[in-house]
Chains A and B, each alone.
Chain A
Amino acid sequence: MQTRNYKVVMRCSSCAMILEGLEDLSGIEKVIANYKKEQLEIVFDETMIAEVDILEAIEKGGYQVSP
């Protein structure tokens, strides 16, 4: 399992709820989104999903993400 922290531009608190929907992706164990700090913590199984795919999913949702 790997844990990554990202900085994500969140326009409102609902963005946090949307981003936590990433948990539905296969290979992602846990997602913790913090709107106040604009931080996203993702715990994932690197054998099932690559980090680049996670970043792509975030950006596809319309969010700017940086490590």
Chain B
Amino acid sequence: MTNLGIIFLTGVTTGGLSCMAVQGGLLAGTLAQQVEKKEIKQRAVGTITIFLVAKLIAYTILGFLLGWLGTILQLSPTMRAYLQLFIGIFLIGTALRLFNVHPIFRHFIIEPPKVITKYIRKLAKNRDDDLATPAFLGALTIFIPCGVTQAMLLLAMATGNPFQAALIMFAFVLGTSPIFFGLVYMATRLGEKLQGQFLKVAAVVVLILGLISLEGGLNLMGSPISYAAFSAWLNQDDSANSALVATTSPTQSQNQSVETENAITIKVDDSDGYTPAVAQARAAQPLTVTFTTNGTRSCARSVVFRTLGLQKVLPESGNTQITIPSQPSGTTVKYTCSMGMYRGQINFN
């Protein structure tokens, strides 16, 4: 799963930017109603907190729904690969927009309908002295996500897991909260230069996320131009002398499987993904692959053999067998996790 720390950092760096620029302005509108009242600061703390909590809950639920949408659509591995590629390109485009590289990158944005933004602006001017308005405003911000938030929403949907998606949005919006709170409370704006610095950091983080997503899409496609493909190709050079049949003494190489009776075992864990990453097997007969998990929780549990049209979700702990149909000699069957982050391959000889 995409590192939640990076997601949180993205939120922190964008908290004082477009999220603040629009939503902070809306919130300030509701706070302005209390200017003449006593205990302004205490009231302001409560109002801002309610706004942020409502926003956090709303985006977490939205993330959950998007992740759930990803499961019910039951995207095929190829469709998921294209989605990852699209998201990666969108994120990279967003980063280049934030870097202000060229006006063409301004198209990497999804703009909400004007009627929604107009309604939310009107609501912010509500003169009622209650706490429902900031709560309602906070929840409605899901209709006016800033560019980076949109990128996070796409990432959440790509997980195809409602809980992971909800966690992504929770981490991101939580990251936006401290700076947002501070700036609104002090009713200040970031100086032009400081805002520029924040934007650059956000752009770097979004670029990294975009590259990770692009890499995932390329791996899912089985593309030879991904970074993981290059690494696997380098590892293959070390496997030239590995044993192929059960009767010979197996070569003990850290990254190679020991193969017997055309059955192999692959360990699945959160840190390394699939071990061994490169396996050898006999051609011209079916292969039994046993995937073993032990408290494994990452997306590596969702194994995809795209070229074979096979997809299997492994239990957190246990042994799961998959049968690969007979393959001609010289075939390499590649597989990845559903996000394209972990990959492995089986060489048939």
Q: Chain A residues in contact with chain B, CB under 8 A?
A: 11-18, 20-21, 24, 35-36, 38, 62
Q: Chain B residues in contact with chain A, CB under 8 A?
A: 17-19, 21-22, 25, 98, 103, 106-107, 109, 111, 114, 117-118, 121, 125, 144, 146-147, 189, 192, 195, 199
Name the contact of B25 in the complex, choosing from A11, A12, A18, A38 (C-beta under 8 A). Answer: A18
Name the contact of A21 in the complex, choosing from B25, B106, B146, B192 (C-beta under 8 A). Answer: B25
Contact in complex: A13, B25 (CB < 8 Å)? no
Contact in complex: B121, A21 (CB < 8 Å)? yes
Residues of B within 8 A of A38 (CB): 103
Contact in complex: A13, B146 (CB < 8 Å)? yes
Residues of B within 8 A of A36 (CB): 103, 106-107, 109
- Which interface residue of A11, A13, A16, A38 has the most chain B CB atoms within 10 A? A13
A13→B19 CA distance, assembly (Å) = 10
Residues of A within 8 A of B25 (CB): 18, 21
Residues of A within 8 A of B118 (CB): 20
Residues of B within 8 A of A16 (CB): 111
Which 7 pairs from chain A and chain B are nearest by CB?
Answer: A14-B22, A14-B18, A12-B18, A36-B106, A13-B109, A14-B21, A17-B117
Closest Cβ neighbor of A61 among chain B residues: B25
Q: Decide yes or no: A18 and B21 within 8 Å by CB, A12-B146, A62-B189 being known contacts.
A: yes
Q: Decide yes or no: A20 and B114 within 8 Å by CB, A13-B18, A14-B21, A35-B106 being known contacts.
A: yes
A6→B200 CA distance, assembly (Å) = 27
